[in-house]
Structure 1
Amino acid sequence: MAFDGITIANIVHELNQTITGGKINKIAQPEADELLLTIKNQRVQHRLLISASASLPLIYLTQNNKPSPLTAPNFCMLLRKHIGSGKITAVTQPGLERVIRIEIEHLNELGDLCHKTLAVEIMGKHSNIIFLDETEKILDSIKHVSSHMSSVREVLPGRNYFIPETQEKKNPLNISEDEFADFVYSKPLPVSKALYTSLTGISPVMSEEICCRASVDGGASVSSLSEAEKIHLFHTFERLMDDIRQGNFCPTIIFEDEAPLEYASVPLMKYEGFRTEEYDSISQVLEHYYAAKNVITRIRQKSADLRKVVQTALERNRKKFDLQTRQKKDTVKKDKYKVYGELLNTYGYNLEEGCRSFQALNYYTNEEIVIPLDPAMTPQENAKKYFDRYNKLKRTAEALEEQLKDTQSEIEHLESISTALDIARKEEDLVQIKEELVQYGYIKRKGPSGKKVRVTAKPLHYISSDGYHMYVGKNNYQNEELTFKFAVGNDWWFHAKGQPGSHVIVKTNGDELPDRTFEEAGRLAAYYSKGRQAPKVEIDYTEKKNVKKPGGGKPGFVIYYTNYSLMIEPDISGIHEVV
């Protein structure tokens, strides 16, 4: 989701309710492109984080403090000098621009009342925090932009401040129906693109949402719309603008599986059917959304090297398995050579020297067959040659049988590690996975070999609707521990049939489990498996006492012969997780 004008409008609405009228107590600059203002208003302390980062510009209220450098940067010192104890009189947004103006009044050295403005521009890589005087002249900015960097606008002390109009767009808050028709419907573009390229502060996601609410195909050309569809589209758009003007916001995060997919200041009908979570404020949404996104991004970055190791090993073993399978097929003809040798020993005594072939009755099938011969050899030597070929292929087939089992076992092991990497939620979850890769020789251990790795990751913990505790292993070591050390004989064990996945243990406390708990445990086993994207997954379940570990088996690998099965959707929404 772009940090668009509607999100900015929601933030402005929230800031006017919380910090307008408040006094600035503290100004800090934790990062080169970030400010943290501490504001006290009506005996309540608020922290406003403003980031002009090119990769992730943000502004929101937070409860968290951040350490500051020992020596404050020049921009921070200037702000402290002028507005260190200033009063915030207003927070405004020009139109639906991605700009927030924080108006501040303060007393100068002579005791005169002065006015300053902090202009926060949330515009991707062009984001900035600009400090202005009463005449809209720039006093300083957190990022200096010279004429060499931008031909549109210089952001330097002493220059006049203005919002650059690099694109011909209309203010959606005061556009009339005729202007909307002339400006939007005149473009030879898809409806969704025509909206966000014509109107200020409207992101592609919000354009699609407007189309969805109006039951219009956002990918269709503007010229294909009927008059009735055009009128309905404008009225749908105008209702959304009314909500923004009146401050009717509903900050929401949309989740896909457990990961945050989108956020918005209004309900998104285009994501109907996805799990949504509503919040009291847009600041909470931004903080939670980007915190969760950062965790996922950091996990992906941290696990990238491990994934590469696993993927490389998987590809190598799959190629090896294919080669061994082809070699195994080649050994099928070994029985033919055995028959050739037996028939030559039986009927070859009256063959003439120098024969190139020999026709004989195969007494196994009662069919005539032709046996190729080496004319330089006697019948007995030809028979020995075929028996030697048979014995060699037989030994090869027996060796390949074992090799295929080992290679298949290694592939299953690596696929289980790959699934564990998909399940990992935190950095500490990767510690055990890396240790397993080290133990089985996929990664070389660095440092002392006897040093014990500190493990802090724990299995996932859920409680069923009937109050039973359910535990989910996040990797092979946790699966092993849950099944063979944590669970007792009459606890129930669940696992996706025939594919890598988590062991799910349900503690029964000696009770007979209700059907609903069986279903919820099955859904957990389906979701935390390789088949989580499938509509339904087959789950095997049995009492723990029926699950055994094979001798020499890899961690998490089990065998069982007595079990029940169920087909279930991999949907865990509504199952309470203990955090």
Structure 2
Amino acid sequence: MALDGIYIYSILCELREKLLHGKVSKINQPEKDEVSLLIRGSDNNSYKLLISASSSYPKIHITENGKTNPLTAPMFCMVLRKYLINARIIDIKQVSTDRIVILDFENTDEFGFNSVYSLIVEIMGRHSNITLIRQKDNSVMDCIKHITPAINRYRSLYPGLNYIYPPKSEKLDPFDFSIESFKNIIKENNLDFDSKLGSKIFTGVSKTISKEIYFRFSGDITINDLDNVYSNIVKFFSSISNGNFSFNSYSENGMIKDFACIPLNFLNECEKTEYKDPSKLLENFYFERDKFQRLSNYGADLSKIVHTNLDRCLKKNQILNDNLVECKTKDIYKLSGEFLTANMYDLKKGQKEITVQNYYSETLEDITIQLNTNKTPSQNIQSYYKKYTKLKKTEEMSLLQLRSNSEEIDYLQSVLTNIKNSEAYTEIEEIKKELIETGYIKFNKKNKKGKNKTPKLSKPLHLVSSDGIDIYVGKNNFQNDYLTLKFADKRDIWMHTKNIPGSHVIVKNNGHIPDKTLEEAAGLAAYYSKAKESVLAPVDYTEVKNVKKPSGAKPGMVIYLTNKTINIIPKKLDNI
């Protein structure tokens, strides 16, 4: 499941058809390793070209999805705008069949002369990069990732240097190879005709395509018949080079297992989904994965802060519980004090112990009490009473702190759940603001210079049930408080997972709420909670008038009475 040179070849066929001779009208850099170019094609339609140098999901394709751009454009974006705005695409090519794409642009330079610039896209995992060069002197104008000699001894990439291509592959070009070179590379490397042969000898051929080659021809040919092997493989790649594409994804148990620009016969048992173009297939496959990973990375620092505080609370919880175990002995000290007081006239300084009668027991058995030989009888008595008083106060304070600590644990777990369920950067920013206001993140006022603008807050999730009733879901604790305490009417239905961190869900009550709507809303409450992956989750629901926020409680923390509980499968609504 990789974006290989063969699939890139199919993408470039699409790009040539739609973008060649098109004009660049906008350039943005929504991510640190990703740029988008709005291009008006020769057919007068506008296309958004997405180019990503992500270490996990590098790619190039036409996209219909948009992202929020930073208020201040990064330097690389500014350089691209300077040289490529209003430029025309004059060529789109691929280096051999490798994962290197070159987009040539023609534009007037600062002196009014026509210049040609190349945007070189290297789709190579963690080595992926996007570099703008000026063709006449091969100089690097800028690149999205600067590579210094300390990072790469073979080549450096930063402004002012001459551009050097990545090391050339010693494998064969699948669209241009002779029978002699084919036979030589097999014999020199002592290769067998197996499912890995294609990826071992051809540039840009992934393991998936290699498996397909083997599946198609393994029944008819062997490694001993190289002429026949050569003939069949040439026909296979000729079909691709002639544009005989079929864009499909293959799923198993609802998860996409693989995709390709040709039919994958070895996956015939999987569910196949057809696409009309390679860009749409890539976008469907990568968009959610890329979004999830970027949001996870974006929220990783917040998660670390929350986990640190959660660990602190859990350790404190253990200490407090240990204190309560010790405090269970407090009555022994009180009784010892009483028994010593009743037998005070039998006490003498220097005694190590005294045996007294337990007059609280029906059998009146004797008990032995240890004494400090350096203390007077009165001091020994007082030491037992002091120990009792200390343990009693410790027990009272421990119980209070245990309750407060438990509430803090619930709150921190709710924040972790909100971070995990975040679907936009603005939601992560709101959680960060929440942690600042609750004191978990120290806010440095010096860093606020030039940032007086109040960020636009995201809105709670709004959905409509199958019965046409409005449902609202809080995506963080600020939104939870807003929905429950300000937005909702006292007759509306409030929902939350039972004893599990999650979102507040409000169902608008306009007179009657059908059971179907209640089930759908409960499914949402379970889905946007820590129980998201559970088979069934318990969800409490009650009227909003029964929900109260205790004085001094943290954001999103409420108490409620007279509720009902429903066990439901966590599930989104289709209109999300």
With normalisation by structure 2, the TM-score equals 0.68
Match of residue 283 from structure 1: 279
Correspondence for 1:249: 247
Quote the residue 2:495 is aligned against. 494
Q: Structure 1 residues 168, 454: CA separation in 2 closer, same or farther (over 3 Å shift)?
A: closer
* Mapping for residues 99-178 of structure 1, pairs under 5 Å: 122-124=122-124, 125=127, 141=138, 143=140, 165-168=168-171, 171=174
Residues 338 and 387 in structure 1, CA contact (< 8 A), matched pair in contact too: yes
Provide the residue aligned with 1:333 in structure 2. Answer: 329
Report how many residues are paired: 514
Q: Which position in structure 2 is the counterpart of 1:526?
A: 526
Q: Does 1:547 align with 2:547?
A: yes
Identify the residue that residue 363 of structure 1 maps to in structure 2.
360
Cα distance, 1:26 vs structure 2: 5.9
Change (3 A) 1:71 1:172: closer
**C-alpha spacing 1:554/1:170, structure 2 compared with 1 (3 Å):** same
State the shift of 1:337 in Å. 0.8
Give the drift of 1:534: 3.4
> Which digits, 9 at most, give the CA deviation of each residue in 1:251-282, with x for residues without a partner?
7999999xx9997657999999x999976433
Q: How does 1:27-46 map to 2 (within 5 A)?
A: 38=39, 40-41=41-42, 43-45=43-45
Change beyond 3 A, Cα 1:298–1:255: farther
CA contact (8 A) 2:339 2:356 kept: no
Q: Which amino acid aligns with 1:171?
A: P
1:6-49 deviation per Cα after TM superposition (whole angstroms, max 9, x unaligned): 42133134235535xx64556999899989695644x4345574
Distance 1:364 1:296, change over 3 A: same
Question: What is aligned with 2:203?
Answer: 200
Aligned to 2:227: none
Check whether the contact 1:503–1:525 (CA below 8 A) recurs between aligned residues.
Answer: yes
Q: How far apart, in 2, do the equivalents of 1:341 and 1:348 lie? A: 10
Residues of 2 paired with 1:429 and 1:151: CA distance?
Answer: 42
Residue of structure 1 in register with 2:575 after alignment: 576
Aligned residues with identical type, % of pairs: 31
Equivalent residue letter for 1:344: L
| CA positional deviation for 1:420 | 2.2
Residue 309 of structure 2 aligns with an amino acid whose one-letter code is A
Deviation at 1:378, TM superposition (A): 5.5
Q: TM-score, normalised by structure 1?
A: 0.68
- For 1:320 and 1:392, the matched residues in 2 are separated by 19
1:3 pairs with 2:6? no
Offset from partner CA, 1:336-364 (integer Å, 9 cap, x none): 11121223334565467635232533634
Partners of 2:428 and 2:460 in 1: how far apart? 13
1:45-56 matched pairs, under 5 angstroms: 45=45, 47=47, 49=49
Instruction: Give the aligned residue type for 1:575.
Output: D
Q: Which residue of 1 aligns with 2:60?
A: 59
2:398 equivalent in structure 1? 400
Q: Is the 8 A contact 1:495 1:501 kept in 2?
A: yes
Counterpart Cα distance in 2 of 1:209 and 1:489? 62
Distance 1:118 1:458, change over 3 A: closer
User: What's the counterpart of residue 384 of structure 2?
Assistant: 386
Amino acid in the other structure paired with 2:203: T
Does the 8 Å contact 1:496/1:538 carry over to 2? yes
Shift of 1:408: 2.0
Aligned residue in 1 for 2:221: none
Mapped partners of 1:71, 1:396: distance in 2:
67
* 1:410-440 deviation per Cα after TM superposition (whole angstroms, max 9, x unaligned): 2222222222222333332234323332333
Q: Hey, what's the Cα distance between the residues in 1 that align with 2:47 and 2:362? A: 90
Cα distance between partner residues in 2 of 1:35 and 1:523: 37
Q: Whole-Å Cα distance in 1 between the matches of residues 391 and 4 of structure 2?
A: 70
Gaps of 5+ in 1: 106-115, 133-137, 215-234
SS at match of 2:248: coil
Taking the aligned partners of 1:443 and 1:101, their CA distance within structure 2 comes to: 45
Q: Which amino acid aligns with 1:527?
A: Y
Q: CA RMSD in A?
A: 5.7
> 1:162-241 counterparts in 2 under 5 A?
165-168=168-171, 171=174, 196-203=199-206, 206=208
- 1:184 to 1:313, Cα distance in 2 relative to 1, 3 A: farther
Distance (whole Å) between structure 1 residues aligned to residue 532 and residue 34 of structure 2: 41
- Cα deviation digits, residues 201-249 of structure 1 (max 9, x gap): 2346x379869999xxxxxxxxxxxxxxxxxxxx9xx999978962111
Pair 402,36 (structure 1): closer, same or farther in 2 beyond 3 Å: closer
What are the superposed Cα offsets for residues 255-312 of structure 1, whole Å, 9 maximum, x if unpaired?
A: 999xx9997657999999x999976433345567777667556645554443343333
Residue 459 (structure 1) shift: 0.6
Match of 1:321 in 2: 317
* CA shift digits 1:163-198 (9 cap, x unpaired): 96534467399999x98x979997699x88776445
Contact 2:247 2:260 in 1 (8 A): no
SS in 1 for 2:247: coil
1:15-30 aligned within 5 A: 15=15, 17-18=17-18, 23-25=21-23
CA distance in 1, matches of 2:386, 2:130: 82
- Which residue type is aligned with residue 504 of structure 1? V
Distance 1:438 1:409, change over 3 A: same
The structure-2 alpha-carbon separation of the partners of 1:387 and 1:544, relative to structure 1 and needing over 3 Å to count, comes to: same
Residue 513 of structure 1 pairs with residue 533 of structure 2: no
**Is the contact made by 1:39 and 1:47 (CA closer than 8 Å) also made in structure 2?**
yes
Q: Is the 8 A contact 1:129 1:143 kept in 2?
A: yes
* Contact 1:470–1:504 (8 Å) recurs in 2: yes
State the Cα deviation string for residues 298-330 of structure 1 (Å, max 9, x = none): 645554443343333323333223222222222
1:456-471 equivalences under 5 Å are: 456-471=457-472
- What do residues 371-414 of structure 1 show as CA deviations (whole Å, max 9, x unaligned)? 21234556554333312211121112112211222222222222
User: Contact conserved, 1:196 with 1:202, CA < 8 A, in 2?
Assistant: yes
CA–CA separation in structure 2 for the residues paired with 1:383 and 1:171: 96
1:418 and 2:416 matched: yes
Change in 2 beyond 3 A, CA 1:98/1:334: same
Deviations 1:430-489 (A, max 9, x none): 34323332333233444499x895552111122223322211111112111111222223
Is the Cα contact below 8 Å between 1:3 and 1:122 reproduced in 2?
no
1:98 corresponding residue in structure 2: 99
CA contact (8 A) 1:27 1:35 kept: no
2: CA distance, partners of 1:38 / 1:427: 26
Task: Call closer, same or farther: CA 1:2–1:317 in 2, change over 3 Å.
Answer: same
SS in 2 for 1:371: strand
Deviations 1:104-141 (A, max 9, x none): 99xxxxxxxxxx99896644247678999xxxxx8665
- Residue number in structure 1 paired with 2:110: none
- CA distance, structure 2, for counterparts of residue 300 and residue 567 of structure 1: 29
